Structure 1
Amino acid sequence: MIKRVLLTLSLAASVCGAQAATIEDVISPTSFVLASAGTRNVATFDGKPVFYCGLKAFTTWATPLVGQSVGSNPDAGITVSVDARDVSLERLLVSKGWLQPAVLDDEAQAAITEGRGGWACASAAAPFELMHTSVDPKVLAGIALNESGLNGRAWPWTLNVAGQGLFFRTRTDAFRAIQSLISAGRSDFDVGLMQINWRYHAQRFASPWDALRPSTNIRVAEAILNENYSKTHSVAKAIAWYHSANPAPGQAYLARFARHLNQIQAGL
């Protein structure tokens, strides 16, 4: 961390000088070569490269960054200009889905679950492998595909209102829809990646915005599944009861889950 701070400060000094620093080469999502006044430095970022789509996919995306001037400040670190405003290069890599930060904040969770950048080629279980706490991530992924599946991916910004599935482009769009429902006195809807029912489980969330956060939505789903298992002592029943304790719909739900789980295990 000290090394990164020193690099940031040295870049800030060079940017304030006569010749700004520029991106000379892109090695990986965690390593950029910066050039300024005849000197070259390697800027490194914490986290892991997201290479599910391969290095070529990343370098194709990153090529327009080569030659771009960079700035630096203590809060944002190394910055680049995007749409005429300076943004953190590290945060740009996270939001575009090429860098997995050590802490999966909201932007990282959105990139992972939306399948941005390198996450587009990750398995359906990948988000759950990163965010689960107590339940097998493949089980969670199979349930999520039952609940919010869209084009082979569990979509985080999903609502189901009285049986009608609604898929939103962004978390903000889904949040506004929830606000409208609550303002209208409605509670007959399911929320998020794991489709948690608002009427029965709203108290498990800090707010509707919190309910949409993938990691929180997964955590609540795990709590419900663990409670079901404690009551039934059966993994199959715990999953079936996640949808309904009524045998007929519960068994149909379990059958769909089994198909999704087989696909996940086969890597499809």
Structure 2
Amino acid sequence: MIKALVTACAAVCTLTAHAATIDSIISPTRVVLDDGTKRAIVELPGEPVYACGLKPFQSWATRFEGQAIESAADGSVAVAIDGAPVSLATLFVRAGWLRPAALTDDAQASMTERRGGWACASAQAPFDAMHTSVDPKILAGIALNESAYNGRPWPWTLNVAGRGFFFRTREDAYRAIRYLISHGRSDFDIGLLQINWGYHSKRFASPWDALAPATNIRVAEDILNENFRLTHSAAKAVAYYHSANPAPGREYLARFVKHLSQIERGL
């Protein structure tokens, strides 16, 4: 990553003095700059997201061709958005075409909202990227139980006293959480894995933190691992994630098994 940033900075610093523009965008990690006298290929840090193939990205990226480049604060290639320089890498991450080495909030949002190339990825893909200690298939199966919207887990989901709400953005969900807390409510579940705020708020730094997909997944893993240590059974660990009472636990486990089968068939 450092090498890529140095390469990008060197190209930008050399070309910006000559009012360089974006000539073409080869891939999410390779951009051709032109200052009227010479061209240079700039390497952007990260991994391309090719789940939908290269052509959809190239079609989307044509909007940047011909735009003047600027230098972002970190020296990377940037374009002006609303009068301020924004790095191309950041724009590509937000749009779902580039996966950075460190999964920033933008990367987590684009991945779980299925933007750009992530639209064609499997339901398991976000959990492959963000899990730490639990099989990502198990996490994906539970998430489909907990926050499914249009057939995929949705990160900005709340369940308030048994009623589900799906918000368009993290900010919208956060405003709803603040409203609930300000009215003395704690009977609600948050995020991809629907962590109950009343029982588990101390596991998070803040309600905003609870919505972060990677944090939400980590806390769910902690709960599942605790359930497993208590029961010595993977099936019971999943059932107890919903309820230790046998009847609702069995029903929850049955839905989980159905979702797990769908994931294994390529959902």
Regarding TM over 0.5, the answer is yes
Aligned to 1:206: 205
Say if 1:12 and 1:71, in contact at 8 Å, map to a contact too.
no
Say if 2:224 and 2:241, in contact at 8 Å, map to a contact too.
yes
Mapped pair 1:238 → 2:237: yes
Query: What is the root-mean-square deviation in Å for CA atoms of aligned residues?
Result: 1.4
Q: Which sections of structure 1, spanning at least 5 residues, go unmatched?
A: none
Cα drift, residue 74 of structure 1: 4.0
Amino acid corresponding to residue 70 of structure 2 in structure 1:
G
Mapped pair 1:70 → 2:69: yes
Mapped pair 1:142 → 2:135: no
Matches within 5 A, 1:1-268: 1=2, 4-5=5-6, 7-12=8-13, 14-17=15-18, 20-75=19-74, 77-268=76-267
SS in structure 2 at match of 1:59: helix
SS in structure 1 at match of 2:69: strand
Could you tell me the percent identity over the aligned residues? Answer: 62
SS in structure 2 at match of 1:202: helix
Say if 2:12 and 2:76, in contact at 8 Å, map to a contact too.
no
SS in structure 2 at match of 1:267: coil
How many pairs are equivalent?
266
Say if 1:9 and 1:72, in contact at 8 Å, map to a contact too.
no
Give me the whole-angstrom Cα distance separating, in 2, the residues matched to 1:175 and 1:236: 32
Give me the whole-angstrom Cα distance separating, in 1, the residues matched to 2:258 and 2:184: 37
Amino acid corresponding to residue 8 of structure 1 in structure 2:
C
Cα drift, residue 82 of structure 1: 3.0
Amino acid corresponding to residue 254 of structure 1 in structure 2:
L
- Evaluate the alpha carbon distance shift between residue 254 and residue 2 of structure 1 in structure 2; reply closer, same or farther with a 3 A threshold: closer
- 1:215-244 CA deviation, whole Å, 9 max, x = no partner? 110000001101111111111111011000
Give me the whole-angstrom Cα distance separating, in 2, the residues matched to 1:125 and 1:54: 18
Say if 1:146 and 1:257, in contact at 8 Å, map to a contact too.
yes
- 1:137-189 CA deviation, whole Å, 9 max, x = no partner? 00000000100000111100110000000011111111111111011000000
- 1:170-216 CA deviation, whole Å, 9 max, x = no partner? 11111111111011000000011100001110111111011001111
* TM, length-normalised to structure 1: 0.95
- 1:49-103 CA deviation, whole Å, 9 max, x = no partner? 0000010111110112111111114425211123444311110000000000000
Say if 1:98 and 1:117, in contact at 8 Å, map to a contact too.
yes
* TM, length-normalised to structure 2: 0.96
Cα drift, residue 3 of structure 1: 6.3
- Evaluate the alpha carbon distance shift between residue 85 and residue 255 of structure 1 in structure 2; reply closer, same or farther with a 3 A threshold: same
Give me the whole-angstrom Cα distance separating, in 2, the residues matched to 1:3 and 1:223: 35
Amino acid corresponding to residue 136 of structure 2 in structure 1:
P
